[in-house]
Amino acid sequence: MDTLLVRREDGSVKLLVYRKKSHTDQYFNFSSHHPLNHKLAVIKTLLERCYSIVTEEDDQKNEEHVAKALSKCGYPRWTIDRVKQDIVEKSLKDEAKKVKNTRGNHKGMVVVPYVKGLSEAFARILKSHGIATANRPHRTLRRTAPALMLERQAGSLI
C-alpha cells in the first residue's frame, strides 16, 4: 500500500510514496484539542512510511511533501525535527537491543483521561518513576448516548 513503483531505463525498480490525485493532505490541526503525543504520532506515521517505502536516500531527502503538508496544518518546524530525531534515536536503540538483549525498564502503565496541559505534566511525572501513560477521552459517544436517550424519554413524557 502507498507504494509507487518506478521503472528506470536500465530495468531496475525504485519505490516512492504513492498519493492519489485527490489526496487533500488534511491531518490533525496543530491547534486542535488533542494530546501532543497524538499530533507527534501523525508526523511519525508519515515519516516512517517515507523511510520504510522509499528505497533511495536522495528520494527520502526530496520527500519534503510531508513537511509542507504539515506546515499547512499549523505544525511548527520543531515538531518535525523532534520526531525525526526520535526516529533516529529509536533505530539506534533497536540496534543496541539486538546486540544486547535487555528487558524494558517500565514498571507499569496507566490510562488517564486527557485534560489539556494537565495530562502532559502528569505523564512526565509518571515517566520519571518508570510508569508509562496513555490518554483516553473523558467524553465518548458510548457514555453520551445513554444520557441523550434518557433526556429524549423524559422530554416525551412531559
- Strand ranges inside the chain, DSSP E: 3-7, 13-17, 108-113, 131-136
**Taking the domains of the chain in order of start, what are their residue ranges?**
1-101, 103-158
Q: What is the Cβ-side half-sphere exposure of residue 36, based on CA atoms within 13 angstroms?
A: 14
Which pTM was predicted?
0.60
| Position 80 confidence tier, pLDDT thresholds 50, 70, 90 | very high
Cell numbers representing residue 134 in the block: 496513555
Per-residue pLDDT of 20-45, as tens digits, reads: 889 888 998 999 999 999 999 999 99
pLDDT of residue 102: 44
135 within 8 A of 35, measured Cβ to Cβ: yes
